[in-house]
């Protein structure tokens, strides 16, 4: 007979972690650190949530900024992230409340989610992508060894991978909303195509792109997307057919009419 204690432990694998890995202490996200590193960084150590590590390695949680909580940046749903305010590894950052007082970036529509899932593919356990980067779920790029920041055990179910994708997309929804001028009007499909592109290429590349600059200069969005998105087909100096196909699908989505306005975001 399986004891009640064993059942409870099996039900909560996501609260346990390894050194510099994600952990959860009484519902609060944290990172497994030595107690000295945690305290010197302004955090609080909680015993019992990093059981595979030495006794001086405990789950470190911390508050930061104005109303923020330290957590791995890939799990910050607001996308409002500040560096240098939290103890631990570089990916453990301050997740602040959404900027703009409630006028945040909208979530992408179902058509966008479907496109991203189609091209990212489902990976149940961490595995190298086409250019060798460790990913899991639907395109989640691992931030720590073994993808320990992911709040689920492996192998993932498709439902868990979908939840992880929704969380990951907040960063890209926020950067597209922030980088594009409020004078640019985009429907939900146009906005979603750009979020898919940013999710694939990164917020930094998107924000400094000619595509965003042309939109902000007032050029026709459909023309800009058709001319600029197909340029983003290189990885490791090579043209990848998968990227060619994805850019074509993003252009097609971008040019699909929608009556729903996603940018500027509704307040």
* Active-site choice (120, 160, 173, 228): 120
State the DSSP string of 203-219.
HHHHHTSHHHHHHHTT-
Residue 208 CA to residue 179 CA, distance in Å, equals: 9
**201 an active-site residue?**
no
Nearest Cα residue to 35 out of 47, 22, 21, 17: 47
Nearest Cα residue to 70 out of 19, 22, 127: 22
Nearest Cα residue to 16 out of 47, 49, 45, 48: 49
Residue 180 CA to residue 212 CA, distance in Å, equals: 6
Residue 192 CA to residue 209 CA, distance in Å, equals: 17
> Token pair of 118, please?
């189609």
Q: Which residues are catalytic?
A: 120
């Amino acid at each position: 007979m399986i004891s009640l204690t064993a059942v409870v432990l099996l039900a909560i694998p996501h609260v346990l972690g390894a050194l510099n890995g994600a952990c959860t202490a009484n519902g609060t996200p944290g990172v497994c650190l030595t107690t000295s590193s945690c305290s010197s960084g302004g955090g609080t150590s909680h015993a019992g949530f990093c059981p595979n590590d030495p006794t001086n390695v405990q789950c470190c949680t911390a508050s930061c900024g104005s109303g923020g909580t330290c957590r791995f940046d890939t799990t910050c749903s607001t996308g409002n992230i500040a560096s240098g305010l939290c103890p631990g590894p570089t990916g453990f950052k301050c997740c602040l409340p959404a900027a703009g007082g409630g006028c945040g970036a909208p979530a992408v529509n179902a058509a966008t989610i479907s496109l991203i899932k189609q091209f990212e593919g489902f990976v149940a356990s961490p595995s190298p992508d086409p250019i060798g980067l460790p990913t899991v779920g639907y395109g989640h790029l691992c931030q720590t060894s073994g993808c320990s920041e992911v709040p689920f055990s492996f192998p993932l179910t498709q439902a868990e991978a979908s939840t992880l994708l929704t969380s990951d997309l907040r960063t890209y929804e926020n950067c597209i909303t922030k980088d594009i001028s409020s004078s640019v009007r985009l429907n939900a499909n146009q906005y979603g195509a750009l979020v898919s592109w940013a999710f694939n290429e990164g917020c930094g590349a998107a924000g400094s792109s000619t595509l965003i600059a042309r939109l902000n200069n007032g050029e026709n969005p459909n023309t800009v997307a058709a001319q600029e998105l197909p340029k983003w087909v290189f990885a490791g100096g090579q043209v990848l057919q998968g990227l060619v196909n994805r850019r074509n699908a993003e252009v097609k989505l971008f040019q699909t009419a929608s009556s729903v306005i996603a940018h500027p975001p509704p307040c």
